[in-house]
């Protein structure tokens, strides 16, 4: 299966919000973090959870995440077009699950959460598999914290 990198900066980055470091994050920058990605729908339906993005949008999340931190093999901070980002390498199982879900839900949003805070909700423009890149509205320090936290799971 060919790897495709999810470039959130090239997709519609609707719902991106700033991630501010809390005092706990500053004291323990490599504390394990929780990651989850949900398919998001524009309309409510049975089993979907409403989530306000903070940008005035409401997303209706599929009940189960497509992938979670358990599906991350490694993470590393980097800069993409001058913006702090985190590149994820998924496990074989995580890559399979993400490829299936993104292929099935082209044109929908993928809501990406770190520690229950939405980082971004880009529109899925192609199937994504073993590599994903998260580019939200966060600082370089926060990108480093996210990568370090995901590597400590």
Q: What is the pLDDT of residues 128-153, one digit of tens each?
A: 889 999 988 889 999 999 999 999 76
Q: What is the pLDDT of residue 24?
A: 37
pLDDT for residue 74: 96
Q: What is the pLDDT of residue 153?
A: 63
Number of domains in the chain: 1
Tell me the pLDDT band of 12, cut-offs 50, 70 and 90. Answer: very low
Distance CA 24, CA 124 (A): 33
For residue 90, the enclosing domain spans 5-151
Q: Which pLDDT tens digit goes with each residue over 81-118?
A: 999 999 999 999 999 999 999 999 999 999 999 999 89
Q: Over the stretch 29-63, which tens digit does the pLDDT of each residue have?
A: 556 789 999 999 999 999 999 999 877 889 999 99
CATH, residue 114: 3.30.1360.200
């Amino acid at each position: 299966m060919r790897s495709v990198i999810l470039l959130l900066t090239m997709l519609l980055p609707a719902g991106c919000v700033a991630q501010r470091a809390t005092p706990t994050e500053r004291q323990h920058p490599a504390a394990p973090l929780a990651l989850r990605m949900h398919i998001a729908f524009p309309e409510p339906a049975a089993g979907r959870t409403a989530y306000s993005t903070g940008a005035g949008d409401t997303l209706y999340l599929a009940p189960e995440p497509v992938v979670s931190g358990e599906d991350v093999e490694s993470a590393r901070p980097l800069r993409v077009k001058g913006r702090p980002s985190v590149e994820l390498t998924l496990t074989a199982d995580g890559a399979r699950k993400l490829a299936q879900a993104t292929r099935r839900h082209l044109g929908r949003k993928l809501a990406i959460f770190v520690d229950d805070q939405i980082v971004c909700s880009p529109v899925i423009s192609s199937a994504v598999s073993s590599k994903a890149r998260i580019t939200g509205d966060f600082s370089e320090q926060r990108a480093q914290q996210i990568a370090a936290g995901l590597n400590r799971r």
